[in-house]
Amino acid sequence: MLYAKKTIPIVEFITICFLSASAPLSATVINNTRCPIEPTELAVSKYKSNYEGNTIYFCCKDCVSIFDSNPKPYLKIIAEFDKQNTSQKNKSALQKTFDDTWNTAFSFPGISILLISCIGILLIRFASLKLPNSSLSSKCARTLSTPRSIQLIIICCLAAEALHAHLSHKINAKDTELENQLHSTTFLEYGAPLIPSLPKGDPSLQSKYYRGNDERNPNLYNGGNYRTSEFYIDLCNNEGQSVNYDSQVSAENLFIRVAIKRSPNTAEYFWKKERMNGIYVTKNSGKFHWTKDKITDSVKLIETEHEKSWEFRYPLIDFHIDNHIKGIIYLCEKRKSDNGNLIGGRFHYAFQFNLEINEDRLDPMSDVWMGPLYRKRSLRIWEIPENEWLSSVPIPENQSKIPIKNPTLLGIKDYEENTN
């Protein structure tokens, strides 16, 4: 009993420390911590709107305007926020305290092992006192509850914790290195899942975008600021007929269609079959395509004119909920290591759609748009403004009469060395 009396105050002290450390900080409680329009952005109390007696918070005034003009597509997200808040509120004070203490304990290396060891020691000591002295279990319990055994148990547990932390760090370091190699700053800039910038124009089901060159050098035409391709986006049915606001539509027979056209005087290298065959479209926003994240919905580009134009159609049925079709698909590129092994997929563009079907017609507020997700890593974000990288306003075509052959100027060398 003397050993137990000495041990219990230590456990009590550790528990009190963690209860104090895990006490929640005072903060303004709001209905939602994430913006329902841009879920990757934090909601702030400055931007808010009232809907059916509830105060909804947003990340910026533009999102407030979007919600106020058409709140229906975002009600499901708001309901999920409310469900999460309700589940937290329904927890008892004891359960909240236990969760906070447990989460805090496991956030510090070695502390969780120490707590578990203390609890285990008390149980072993209790068992040694309650079991008959002659039993094998009692003898084992008494042996394990000696000071030397306890020291060995704690040392072994801490060693196991250190080994686990080392292995976890090694795995995380490899994942971080691979993420940087594949995506550079994509997930830092566009969040997870990846969400493109919102369009500034009126809603549209048909749009055209111009893709700019991502090399900058005085020896290039217009310093490198010229058009490399054009994107034509619309909706269509299985027969390839365009779908407009006045068209009769069915979610089972609705596709987003994107046509890509190569612009004049652009480097042939990037449009060769062996590179275009590595382009695919998917709704999977995971960081590690083809390895950790299995791609089951991959859609390839179809060449419509030799090394000049391509097209893909992606079915929207999987995004259909009630009378809404809302989601994002991504245009990606398979990336390989220096020895030719597939290491993952790089995100280049996102195509987002927010459609509402009323009486077999698309609502006039239905919209389809696209946005860039990746920039050349050697250029800072301010060195190529987004409107020179992808824009709905025409980017000038390359009018040069003398083609550039230098692979460094054209970015071919960076691409081959996997440093682009």
Q: Note the pLDDT of residue 231.
A: 98
Mean pLDDT over 310-339 rounds to 93
> Confidence class of residue 162 from pLDDT cuts 50, 70 and 90?
confident
Phi/psi of residue 67, each to 5°?
A: -65, -45
Q: Note the pLDDT of residue 106.
A: 63
> Confidence class of residue 89 from pLDDT cuts 50, 70 and 90?
low
> What one-letter code names the amino acid at 348?
H
Q: Note the pLDDT of residue 93.
A: 75
Beta bridge partners of 352: 328, 369
- Lowest-pLDDT range of 4-13, 238-247, 398-407: 4-13
- Per-residue pLDDT of 95-152, as tens digits, reads 777 777 767 666 666 666 677 777 777 777 676 676 676 666 666 766 766 778 777 8
- Per-residue pLDDT of 169-205, as tens digits, reads 888 888 888 888 898 888 888 888 888 887 778 899 9
- CA 352/CA 204 separation, integer angstroms: 12
Q: Note the pLDDT of residue 368.
A: 95
- Lowest-pLDDT range of 104-108, 236-240, 414-418: 104-108
Beta bridge partners of 58: 44
Mean pLDDT over 70-78 rounds to 80
- Torsion over CA: 211, 217, 382, 192 (sign): positive
Q: Note the pLDDT of residue 349.
A: 95
CA distances to 33, 192, 211, 365 from 48, rounded to whole Å, are: 12, 23, 35, 22
Run of H or E including 18: helix 2-21
Q: Which of 398, 415, 390 is nearest to 196 (CA)?
A: 390
Residue 14 has pLDDT above 60, yes or no: no
Is-above-0.75 flag for pTM? Answer: no
Mean pLDDT over 203-218 rounds to 93
Burial of 391 (0-12, 13-18, 19+ CB in 10 A): middle
Question: Mean pLDDT highest for which of 10-19, 74-83, 234-243?
Answer: 234-243
Residue 86 has pLDDT above 70, yes or no: no
Burial of 204 (0-12, 13-18, 19+ CB in 10 A): middle
Mean pLDDT over 310-332 rounds to 95
> Confidence class of residue 299 from pLDDT cuts 50, 70 and 90?
very high
- CA 297/CA 281 separation, integer angstroms: 8
- Per-residue pLDDT of 343-390, as tens digits, reads 999 999 999 999 999 999 999 999 999 999 987 776 666 677 878 889
Q: DSSP string of 343-401?
A: EEEEEEEEEEEEEEEETTEE-TT-EEEEEE----TTS-TTTS-HHHHEESSPPPP---S
Residue 24 has pLDDT above 50, yes or no: no
Average pLDDT, the chain: 82
More confident residue, 116 or 68: 68
Phi/psi of residue 272, each to 5°?
A: -65, 155
326 in Cβ contact with 353 (< 8 Å): yes
Q: Note the pLDDT of residue 374.
A: 86
Per the listing, tokens 């990746």 go with 374
Q: Note the pLDDT of residue 230.
A: 97
Q: Note the pLDDT of residue 218.
A: 92
Q: What percent of the chain has pLDDT over 70?
A: 81
